[in-house]
Structure 1
């Protein structure tokens, strides 16, 4: 896991809050955190948990994954996978069986291209699972 980039996260949060035209107090109330705590996060003095980041993201109406990347909790290359899985699982036009089949096909293609379930691409510290991909 990457180290937390707290300073960069704080500036990013401040920018998102201002873009949303919210005061510090308004965002703190909407996210369910204290005003001083949110202020400390924005100034890079505190390291928020993934749960707190999720609450802030919801209040700002942005993806939690975006904040996880900014905080260094989630690697940028993992973001696409997380978002793709989320879109598939959230699609109301698909039944559960269809969602699971799509996820299996998606994972099969990822493995075939050298990405494991929790690994980066082969040659970048990850291990290639191409020979074990199940394309059934």
Structure 2
């Protein structure tokens, strides 16, 4: 079986698992996936879903977005944007109104610099602050 192009995801996962001093079986159990399936991911034989990557990231206590980038699910710029928004929204030292203003300023700078501003905010609203149509 040929290796899939998953951006060295398997090698990265193996390295992270070893750094966490977990066996393949321990990580599989913690992530809620089968041992053979996780082994195939590490060897580059399977491309996991975003949901599986999220479970593995949680078990390894690492960023799911990093795994998404390595798997080709998320673009590097998108990851940086998602992480920036998440940090702003998670900051307990500022209130909700301040968070929204800060996100608007951030978005205006991205637009000024020619970066994609069509993405939804982390609070699932569009650039004008309205909820997207389903």
Unaligned 5+ runs, structure 1: 120-132
TM normalised by structure 2 equals 0.80
* Equivalences, count: 118
Secondary structure of residue in 2 paired with 1:117: coil
| 1:23–1:56 Cα change, 3 Å | same
For 2:47 and 2:102, the matched residues in 1 are separated by 36
CA offsets per residue over residues 8-43 of structure 1, 9 Å max, x none?
Answer: 111110011011110001111111111111111111
Unaligned 5+ runs, structure 2: 120-126, 129-134
- RMSD, matched Cα: 1.9
Secondary structure of residue in 1 paired with 2:8: helix
For 2:108 and 2:58, the matched residues in 1 are separated by 31
TM normalised by structure 1 equals 0.79
Q: Is contact 2:14-2:42 (8 Å) kept?
A: yes
